[in-house]
Amino acid sequence: MNIFLVLILTVIGWLVIWYRSRRRMVKLIEKIPGPLALPLLGNVIELNVDHDELFQRLMGMRLFWGPNDGINKAWLGTTPYVFLSKASSVEPILGSSRHLGKSRDYRFLHPWLGTGLLTSSGKKWHSRRKILTPTFHFKILEDFVDIFSEQTEILLEKMAKEVGRDSFNIFPYITHCALDIICETAMGRRIYAQDDRESVYVKAVYEMGGIVQTRQATLWYHPDCLFRLTSCYKKHENCVKILHEFSMKVISERRQVIEDRLAEIEYKEEQYGTKKLAFLDLLIEASRGGTLLSDEDIREEVDTFMFEGHDTTSSAMSWTLFLLGCHSEIQEKVVAELEEIFSQGDSDRRPTMRDLNSMKYLERCIKEALRLYPSVPLLARQVSEDTQIGKYVVPRGTTAIIVVPMLHRDSNVFPNPECFDPDRFLAENMIGRHPYAYIPFSAGPRNCIGQKYAILEEKAVLSGVLRKYKIEATCRREDIIVSGELVTRAKDGLEVKITPRTKV
């Protein structure tokens, strides 16, 4: 009887503590501007819409509720969210080593990616970051330049059939090229996405991305027990099976190659791809003896880089081409730069690392495209302790969402923010700019580890396209419906027209 009484008192005590904590959280959150919320449901009615509509509503909420302080709030069920869209409000979250944990919204990626670099936190994240950082060293990236060029040449061949057409969607072409590049550079395995768009693996990558987006946007898909009752669940499990089996097969084959090499058995390059597979090699070598990484750990990172390394770069490249197609005068400046770079010797040669580093104006165009259409539109963090943001205290347990497109359109930092102006990124024009005002690769301790790789790939592919074709946008920017999914997409694609250049 005494034990029963103690148990009851313990439960009551826990409920009292929880209630006080909850009441304090609600009190602090309600001080932050935002729409009225329904009991239990919160703002789920306003937020549970299609991806393109959600994107527009988030933009509208910022303009209506947080134009001055760059912070507004909403409730998804009983979970509070704050949306941050000014550099001064973003810095306390991204710039702190205390808010490194990703939000619970990333848990829908766990069945596919596990807890790799993107989704992990704490000691595991620190350990993985330390292991993976050397794989993006300058000398290692230099080994990938030929792969960038080879896949770009395939892309140009595929695009040739669009010459003479009034318009076509550039996004699928660029996406399949990026998928081939990340697969070969990260794993040393060709999947021929540009040749075989019916590939089971390619299909699984895209289906899985769509399922994750649907789960994130649909409140009743959040609980696993309810999700298992839907038709999406069977597709989800089949995709996970395909993706994991492919990754584990590649890891197994690559491990054998390394063991053979260590045993001084001839390394058959033609069978296993490129000579240096820095990313996968380093992971496998770090796992020798099972002391650091198991095969499952390696799979998490391989799948993470396959997921993050193609969608984001393809988005950046597609938007850059489209914007250059909207501004022919800027496109011709890029072409003039390329003509100067390739004027020596064989003008048809592949670019070298030195050539890519010389493409300063093209790089500014890419940066400006990423300002207007950042590849990852929303960054989410779990607030791990009470945090002062401006005049508001954001309580522990809140989910903080950085709305990157609105952050990049702050007119106090970027005058005439809708204008496509690559000269914003001239050194003299960046003096005094807040370090958190422009964050296409995130910022702070959890910034993107692969941003140098991404910029090099983008310059290699874009320069190849622009040396071969003149790009003309066939629809206005104003008519594009932007869909804020896992990456920034155009709902109905990016329609362009291409004509061959005589010589660059």
Task: Band the pLDDT of 72: cuts 50, 70, 90.
Answer: very high
The angle that helices 295-326 and 170-187 make with each other, rounded to 10 degrees, is 150
Per-residue pLDDT, 149: 96
CB 191 within 8 Å of CB 204: no
Rounded to an integer, what distance in angstroms lies between the CA atom of residue 331 and that of residue 351? Answer: 19
Say if strands 399-403 and 79-84 run parallel, antiparallel, or are unpaired.
parallel
What's the farthest any 2 CA atoms get from each other in the chain?
Answer: 93
* DSSP state letter for 219: G
Rounded to an integer, what distance in angstroms lies between the CA atom of residue 183 and that of residue 307? Answer: 10
Question: Following CA atoms 424, 430, 434, 439 in sequence, which dihedral angle do they give, to the nearest 10 degrees?
Answer: 50
CB 105 within 8 Å of CB 399: yes
> Does residue 271 register a pLDDT over 70?
no
In degrees and rounded to multiples of 5, residue 228 shows phi and psi of -65, -20
Kindly list the strands in the beta sheet with 168-169, ordered across the sheet, starting from the edge strand earlier in the chain: 168-169, 495-500, 469-473
In degrees and rounded to multiples of 5, residue 444 shows phi and psi of 80, -160
> pLDDT tens digit string along 393-414?
999 999 999 999 999 999 999 9
Per-residue pLDDT, 292: 67
Most confident of 13-22, 289-298, 301-310: 301-310
Question: Span 456-472, mean pLDDT?
Answer: 97
Question: Following CA atoms 408, 411, 414, 415 in sequence, which dihedral angle do they give, to the nearest 10 degrees?
Answer: 150
Per-residue pLDDT, 437: 97
Rounded to an integer, what distance in angstroms lies between the CA atom of residue 87 and that of residue 48? Answer: 27
> Does residue 265 register a pLDDT over 50?
no
In the structure encoding, which two tokens stand for residue 407, read together? Answer: 């952050």
Per-residue pLDDT, 266: 45
Task: Band the pLDDT of 51: cuts 50, 70, 90.
Answer: low
CB 145 within 8 Å of CB 185: no
Task: Band the pLDDT of 289: cuts 50, 70, 90.
Answer: low
Per-residue pLDDT, 364: 98
Burial annotation 276-301 (CB, 10 A radius, 16+ → b, else e): ebbbbbbbbeebeeeeebebebbbbb
> Does residue 186 register a pLDDT over 60?
yes
Task: Look at 96-100, 167-171, 227-231, 281-285 and tell me which has the smallest mean pLDDT.
Answer: 281-285
The angle that helices 231-262 and 278-286 make with each other, rounded to 10 degrees, is 80
Task: Band the pLDDT of 189: cuts 50, 70, 90.
Answer: confident
Q: Where are the domains positioned within the chain?
A: 31-500
Rounded to an integer, what distance in angstroms lies between the CA atom of residue 102 and that of residue 117? Answer: 11
Task: Look at 37-41, 216-220, 355-359, 413-417 and tell me which has the smallest mean pLDDT.
Answer: 216-220
Q: What is the pTM of this model?
A: 0.90
Query: Looking at the domain that runs over 31-500, which CATH code has it been given?
Result: 1.10.630.10
- The more confidently predicted of residues 42 and 94 is 94
* C-alpha dist (Å) from residue 277 to 112, 144, 291, 362, 492: 23, 9, 21, 28, 37
Rounded to an integer, what distance in angstroms lies between the CA atom of residue 281 and that of residue 257? Answer: 10
Question: Following CA atoms 139, 140, 143, 145 in sequence, which dihedral angle do they give, to the nearest 10 degrees?
Answer: -90
CB 221 within 8 Å of CB 230: yes
The count of other CB atoms within 10 Å of the CB of residue 415 is: 10
> Does residue 281 register a pLDDT over 80?
no
Rounded to an integer, what distance in angstroms lies between the CA atom of residue 169 and that of residue 156? Answer: 14
Per-residue pLDDT, 275: 52
Per-residue pLDDT, 285: 73
Which DSSP helix (H) or strand (E) runs through 207?
helix 200-217
Quick one: three-class SS letters along 92-132? HHHCCCCCCCECHHHHHHHHHHCCCCCCCCHHHHHHHHHHH
Question: Span 20-38, mean pLDDT?
Answer: 87
In the structure encoding, which two tokens stand for residue 404, read together? Answer: 């990157």
Q: Could you tell me what percent of the chain has a pLDDT over 90?
A: 48
Rounded to an integer, what distance in angstroms lies between the CA atom of residue 9 and that of residue 21? Answer: 18
Rounded CA Rg of the chain: 24
Task: Band the pLDDT of 180: cuts 50, 70, 90.
Answer: very high
Q: Could you tell me what percent of the chain has a pLDDT over 70?
A: 92
Most confident of 5-14, 139-148, 462-471: 462-471
* C-alpha dist (Å) from residue 283 to 123, 229, 297, 409: 17, 37, 9, 39
CA–chain centroid gap for 394, Å, is 26
Amino acid, single-letter form, for residue 78: T
In the structure encoding, which two tokens stand for residue 326, read together? Answer: 């909207």
> pLDDT tens digit string along 113-128?
888 888 887 788 888 8
CB 273 within 8 Å of CB 130: no
Place of tokens 């000579």: 275
Q: 248: Cβ–Cβ under 8 A, 6 or more apart, which residues?
A: 295, 299
> Does residue 277 register a pLDDT over 60?
no
Per-residue pLDDT, 371: 98
Task: Band the pLDDT of 268: cuts 50, 70, 90.
Answer: very low
Average pLDDT, the chain: 86
* C-alpha dist (Å) from residue 271 to 266, 275, 446: 12, 11, 36
Task: Band the pLDDT of 269: cuts 50, 70, 90.
Answer: very low
- The more confidently predicted of residues 501 and 306 is 501
> pLDDT tens digit string along 239-264?
999 999 988 888 888 777 776 665 54
Q: How is the chain split among helix, strand and coil, in percent rounded to 5?
A: 60, 10, 30
